[in-house]
Amino acid sequence: MSDNNDFLSNYGKGGVQGDTGAQVSVDAPKTYKYEQKSGFKKPETKTAYADTKKGKPIIGLAVGGAVIAVIVILLIILLPGGGVALPDFSNMTLTQAQLWARENNVLLNSESEYSDEVAAERIISQDKEPATRIGRGDFVRVTVSLGPDLSITLPLPDLMSLTSRQIEAWAQENFMTRVRITAEFSDTVPAGNVIRFEVNDETAVDVVRRDSPVYIIISKGPESEAATVTVPDFKTMSVAESYAFAAENGITLTMIEEYDDYIPAGMIISQSVKAQEKISKGSEIIIVMSKGKMITVPGFKGYSQENAVSLAASLGISVSVTERYSSSSAGVFISQSISAGTVYNSGDILVLTYSLSKEVFVPSFVGQSVDAIKLWAQELNKMGANIKIDDKETTYSGAPIGTILYQDKTNKSVGIKETIKITVSKGRVVYVPVLTGKTIEEAIEECELIGLIPIFIKESSDGIDQGIIWKQSITPGTEESEGTKITLHYQP
C-alpha cells in the first residue's frame, strides 16, 4: 500500500521518479497524428429508385421473400431433426399416443365419441395422415373411442324362440352388457331352450337399452338326464362362453395358453375331449387357448430412434425412448430394457436408450451464484453426465457472497466427465468496529453500514447501564467478510 501511495503522491505533483532520480512529466502528454495517402478513390454513391408505376421491383422482392419463407418452413419440417413423422395412431390406446407425443414434443389434443367398431380408449382417427411430418410443438388432434353407446335402444327379440347360443350371439352383436343366462332343470322344456325371461327395466316394452338388465333361464332338460354332459365344440366359443358352459353343466375346465402363428389371441386352439362326446358331470376338460403369434424382441443396435420405434410398432411392441449422455456420439443406440431374443409379453414396455452426446456445452456462470452452476451440473448428471464443480477457491471481493468471480472452462464444449473450477466471492472485507458501550440502535446502524449481521443476547453485567452493549464476540479491528454474524451481549 505504501508503494502505491508514493506513486499517487508523486503523480499528483506532476511526475514520477525513475531509478536515476530524473523526473518524467505527465502533465501534458503529447498527441501524435499520422497521415498516409493512398490512390484509393471512393466510388460515387448512386441511388436507384424503383418504377412505382410498374411495381415490378417491389413485386419481385415480395415474391422472392415469400418463396424463401416457404423454403425455410419446408426445410424446418422436412430436414432430419426439424420435424417428426406421425405414426398411425389407430392401433394405439390414448395412453400410448400421449407417451409418443410427450417424447417427440408434439401437443396432442383429444376428443371422444361413441363407437361400435373401436374398443374404448382406442384411437378412432387423427386429423393428420400417418407419416406426415410436423414441427415439434405442433398440435395433433385425435378422436378416442368411448366404446358402444349404452343408451341406444334395440327391439327386444322373441327370446322364447331362441336357444342359449342364439341369445348369447344377439347380446354380443348388439353390445348388450347386462344379459345374464342361468339354467335349471325342466321336464317340459327341452334342454337349451328358454323357460322364462325377465327385463328389469320399467321403461322397456318392445325395446330395451343396451344396459337394460335381462335375465334368461335356460332349460337343462329333465333332471334324470343330468348325469351326462354333451361336450360342445369349444373352438367356436369364446373363453367366457366356455367357462359359463362348464359352470352350468358341472364340469371342470382347465385352461392352457400357447402361442400360435395363425389363431388370434383369446381363441381356442384345441380341447382334450372331442365335440359331441358325452362325459359325466365333474369330469375335467383341458382346452388350449391361443396367446397369438409369439413376438421375439429384436436387437435394436444400429437402428435410429425413428426406425426403432417404427419396427417395434410393426411387431406390436410398446416402446418408450429415453436419452442419456454417454461416451458415444449423439443419436447412437446405447441399450434396451428387454434383451434381444426374449419373448415379448403383451403389456410390457420396451425402453430404448440413445446417446444425447459425449460432450456438454459449458456456459459462463461468472456473475451468477454458486447454486446456479451446481443446479446446472446436477441436471446434466441426472442424464448420465459426471460434471463436478470445484468451489474450494474463494477470495474477498466487492461482489456479494457466493458470487462466481472466475470459471476455468466457459463457453465451450467439454467431455461429460469434467471438473469445472470456480473462484467464489467471500464478499468484501470489513473491519469489526468497537461496539461495546453503545446502545442497541447504534450497534444496528453501524453493523448495517459495514455489512455485519448483529445477533443480540440479553445478559446482565455489573456496572452496565440498561440497553448498553458490554460484550462482543469478535475482537474490534479483526478482518471479516461482509455478512459475518457478530454476537452482542447487552444489559437488560
Q: Of 321, 358, 428, 361, nearest to 100 (Cα)?
A: 321
Counts for the chain of helices (H) and strands (E), in that order? 8, 30
Q: What is the dihedral of CA 124, 263, 238, 204, to 10 degrees?
A: 30
**Does residue 440 belong to any structural domain of this protein?**
yes
Instruction: Note whether 466 and 417 are same-domain residues.
Output: no
Residue 264 has a pLDDT of 87
Instruction: Note whether 280 and 163 are same-domain residues.
Output: yes
**Does residue 40 belong to any structural domain of this protein?**
no
97: domain CATH number? Answer: 3.30.10.20
Residue 123 has a pLDDT of 94
Alpha helices in 209-304 (DSSP H): 239-249
**Does residue 102 belong to any structural domain of this protein?**
yes
217-268 pLDDT tens trace: 998 877 665 578 899 999 999 889 999 999 998 899 999 998 888 888 889 9
Instruction: Note whether 363 and 377 are same-domain residues.
Output: yes
**Does residue 22 belong to any structural domain of this protein?**
no
Question: DSSP secondary structure string, 427-478?
Answer: --EEE----TTSBHHHHHHHHHHHT-EEEEEE---TT--TTBEEEESS-TT-
Instruction: Note whether 121 and 136 are same-domain residues.
Output: yes
State the burial class of residue 328 (Cβ atoms within 10 Å of its Cβ: 0-12, 13-18, 19+).
middle
Residue 66 has a pLDDT of 56
The single residue listed with the C-alpha cell 358341472 is 250
Beta strand pairing call for 139-145 and 252-258: unpaired
Q: Which three cell numbers mark 404?
A: 462466481
**Does residue 1 belong to any structural domain of this protein?**
no
Q: Which of 123, 145, 167 is the last residue of a domain?
A: 145
Which pLDDT tens digits describe the chain residue by residue (492 residues)? 444 444 333 434 444 334 434 343 334 443 333 344 444 444 454 444 444 444 445 445 555 555 555 454 554 444 444 589 999 998 789 988 998 998 899 999 999 999 999 988 899 999 999 999 999 889 999 999 999 999 899 898 888 999 888 998 999 999 998 898 888 888 888 888 899 988 877 776 678 899 888 889 998 877 665 578 899 999 999 889 999 999 998 899 999 998 888 888 889 999 999 999 888 888 889 999 998 888 999 999 989 999 999 999 999 899 999 999 999 999 999 999 999 999 998 889 999 999 999 999 999 999 999 999 999 999 999 999 999 999 999 998 888 889 999 999 999 999 999 999 999 998 888 999 999 999 999 999 999 998 899 999 999 999 999 999 999 999 999 988 888 999 999 999
**Does residue 18 belong to any structural domain of this protein?**
no
Instruction: Note whether 115 and 177 are same-domain residues.
Output: no
Residue 25 has a pLDDT of 37
Q: Which of 402, 425, 448 is the last residue of a domain?
A: 425
Instruction: Note whether 244 and 210 are same-domain residues.
Output: yes
Instruction: Note whether 174 and 225 are same-domain residues.
Output: yes
User: Quick check: 26 and 15 in contact, CB under 8 A?
Assistant: yes
Instruction: Note whether 227 and 316 are same-domain residues.
Output: no
Task: Say how many domains are in the chain.
Answer: 5
**Does residue 76 belong to any structural domain of this protein?**
no
Task: Find the domain containing 468 and state its range.
Answer: 429-490
